[in-house]
């Protein structure tokens, strides 16, 4: 079970990372299946702090505007032993902040949820 103490620890470690409710829901569901997910997310965040829009073929900018860049990335998961997880996040350079929008397993969902991205852009880019 996903405890509130673990959630608090995960959230405290995210100074420049915000989790949208949909991402938190996806994380909880996937964490039940893949117990290494918390450590995998920490490693992924460390990469983002060095390379905000990613580096290499595992990162694709799917939306770019002056305030935000929306990126879809393949994330390695030790429990899966591959890069079948996808993270959709937004990065803003001016405030140096990341917004995690969606997390999903490629085997269960083919593409990112465009509705979530449009909702994010409608709420945050003004």
User: pLDDT at position 9, please?
Assistant: 43
Q: Could you tell me the pTM of the whole model?
A: 0.83
How many whole angstroms separate alpha carbon 72 and alpha carbon 103? 10
For domain 15-124, the question of CATH label 3.40.50.360 is answered with: no
Q: Among residues 41, 46, 38, 54, which one has the least CA distance to residue 91?
A: 54
Q: At which residue do the structure tokens 């965040």 appear?
A: 45
User: pLDDT at position 109, please?
Assistant: 85
pLDDT one digit per residue (tens) for the chain, 126 residues: 444 444 444 444 445 899 999 999 999 999 999 999 999 999 999 999 999 998 889 999 999 988 899 999 999 899 888 878 999 999 998 888 999 999 999 888 888 999 999 999 998 765
């Amino acid at each position: 079970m996903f405890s509130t103490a673990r959630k608090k620890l995960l959230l405290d470690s995210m100074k420049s990372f915000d989790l949208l409710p949909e991402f938190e829901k996806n994380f909880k569901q996937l964490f039940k299946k893949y117990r290494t997910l918390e450590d995998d997310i920490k490693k992924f965040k460390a990469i983002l702090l060095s390379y905000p829009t990613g580096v290499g073929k595992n990162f694709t900018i799917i939306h770019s505007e002056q305030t935000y860049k929306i990126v879809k990335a393949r994330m390695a998961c030790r429990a899966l032993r591959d890069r079948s997880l996808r993270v959709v996040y937004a990065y803003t350079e001016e405030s140096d902040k990341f917004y995690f929008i969606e997390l999903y397993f490629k085997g269960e969902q083919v593409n990112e949820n465009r509705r979530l991205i449009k909702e994010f852009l409608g709420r945050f880019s003004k």
